[in-house]
C-alpha cells in the first residue's frame, strides 16, 4: 500500500510538473501575448474579466499548475524527510499506544528513492535502542514498527523474559553474555491488555525505555525463528551481516524477530522520532459502533519518542 501510494504520488508530481513547466514556457506566454494584442487593438481599457476571456486557460491546466507546488512539497517531505504513520497495535506499549500518530525521519538511515527504496546517499546506521519503521520481511507491503535490539554480528538471547546480548565488538568483553539492566517499576492495567502487566525500565545501549511483561504467559519458544546456517539454542540468534534484530516493547504481545527472523537493511524505512498527535478511541461494549471513532485527544503523549 505504501509503495502504491508513493508511485501514485510520483506520477502525479511528474504530470503536474510537466504541465507547470510547459505552461511557464509556452502556454502562459501565449495567453499573455494574445491578451496584450487585444488590449492594443481595443479603443478602451479592458478590465481583468474581459482579458481573462481572451485565450482562456483550460481548467485542467489551471488546476494542475496550481497543485504542482503543493504536491511537490508533499512529495519531497514524505519521500525524503518525514512521513506520518499511525500505530495500529499494542506491540510497542507502553512506548507507543494504539491511536498514536508518529513522525518517521526518512533520512536517518540514508536517503532512498521513493519507489524501490534503493539507497542514494548513506547518512547513518541504526543504533541499538532506536524505534524503527521497516517493511515486514515476509510481506514488504506492510510497515512494522519495533525497537532495534541486535546489530549485525550480535548474539541475542531471550530466555525467561530476560534479554541478553553479546555485542559484536573488538573489546575483551566480547563473548560474555550481558543481561540488560531491568528495574521493576510496578504493575499496571492497560485498556488493550486482558491482564495486569508488569512494567520495567530497561537500558538498551544508551537508551533507557520502558517495557511490559505478561507474568502469566510463558515464552513461546516452540514458535521462535530458527536459523538454519548456525547452531544455537531455540532462544538464541546471531544477527547476520546487513541485518537487524527487532523486538516490541510489549514483550509478550509482539510478533517480532523472535518469530520471523531478521530485518534486511534495505527494508528500513526510518527512525520514529515524535508523536505529533494521539487519540483515544471509543470502545463500544456492545460492539455496534465502529472502533475508529475518536473519543478524546491525549495531549500528554505529544512529544519525542524514547
Active site amino acids: 91, 146
Half-sphere exposure of 31 (CA within 13 A, CB side): 16
- Of 179, 145, 187, 180, the C-alpha closest to 273 is 145
CA distance 205 to 290: 41
- Exposed, middle or buried: residue 94 (CB in 10 Å: 0-12, 13-18, 19+)? middle
CA distance 180 to 6: 39
- Region at 132 (left for phi over 0; alpha for psi -120 to 50; beta for the rest): beta
* Sign of the dihedral through C-alpha 239, 118, 128, 92: negative
Joined together, the cell numbers standing for residue 135 give 517493511
Distances in whole angstroms, Cα of residue 36 to Cα of each of 20, 54, 161, 231: 22, 10, 79, 82
Q: Which residues of 46-72 are buried (b: 16+ CB within 10 A; e: fewer)?
A: eeeeebeeeeeeeeebeebbebbeebe
CB 212 within 8 A of CB 251: yes
CB 60 within 8 A of CB 174: no
CA distance 105 to 13: 21
Amino acid at each position: 500500500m505504501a509503495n502504491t501510494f508513493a508511485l501514485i504520488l510520483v506520477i502525479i508530481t511528474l504530470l503536474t510538473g510537466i504541465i507547470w513547466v510547459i505552461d511557464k514556457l509556452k502556454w502562459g506566454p501565449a495567453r499573455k501575448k494574445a491578451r496584450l494584442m487585444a488590449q492594443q487593438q481595443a479603443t478602451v481599457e479592458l478590465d481583468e474579466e474581459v482579458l481573462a476571456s481572451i485565450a482562456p486557460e483550460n481548467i485542467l491546466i489551471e488546476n494542475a499548475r496550481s497543485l504542482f507546488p503543493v504536491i511537490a512539497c508533499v512529495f519531497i517531505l514524505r519521500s525524503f524527510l518525514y512521513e506520518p504513520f499511525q500505530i495500529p497495535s499494542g506491540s510497542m506499549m507502553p512506548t507507543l499506544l494504539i491511536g498514536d500518530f508518529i513522525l518517521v525521519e526518512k533520512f536517518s538511515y540514508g536517503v532512498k528513492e521513493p519507489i524501490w527504496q534503493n539507497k542514494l546517499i548513506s547518512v547513518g546506521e541504526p543504533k541499538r535502542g532506536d524505534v524503527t519503521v521497516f517493511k515486514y520481511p515476509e510481506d514488504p507491503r506492510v510497515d512494522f514498527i519495533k525497537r532495534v535490539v541486535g546489530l549485525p554480528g550480535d548474539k541475542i538471547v531471550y530466555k525467561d523474559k530476560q534479554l541478553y546480548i553479546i555485542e559484536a565488538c573488538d573489546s575483551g568483553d566480547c563473548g560474555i553474555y550481558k543481561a540488560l539492566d531491568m528495574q521493576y517499576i510496578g504493575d499496571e492495567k492497560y485498556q488493550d491488555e486482558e491482564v495486569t502487566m508488569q512494567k520495567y525500565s530497561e537500558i538498551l545501549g544508551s537508551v533507557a525505555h520502558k517495557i511490559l511483561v505478561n507474568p502469566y504467559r510463558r515464552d513461546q519458544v516452540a514458535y521462535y525463528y530458527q536459523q538454519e546456517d548456525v547452531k544455537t539454542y531455540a532462544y538464541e540468534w546471531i544477527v547476520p551481516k546487513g541485518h537487524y534484530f527487532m523486538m516490541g516493547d510489549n514483550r509478550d504481545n509482539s510478533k517480532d524477530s523472535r518469530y520471523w527472523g531478521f530485518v534486511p537493511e534495505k527494508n528500513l524505512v526510518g527512525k520514529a522520532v515524535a508523536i505529533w498527535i494521539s487519540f483515544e478511541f471509543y470502545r463500544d461494549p456492545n460492539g455496534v459502533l465502529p472502533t475508529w471513532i475518536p473519543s478524546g485527544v491525549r495531549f500528554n503523549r505529544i512529544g519525542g519518542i524514547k
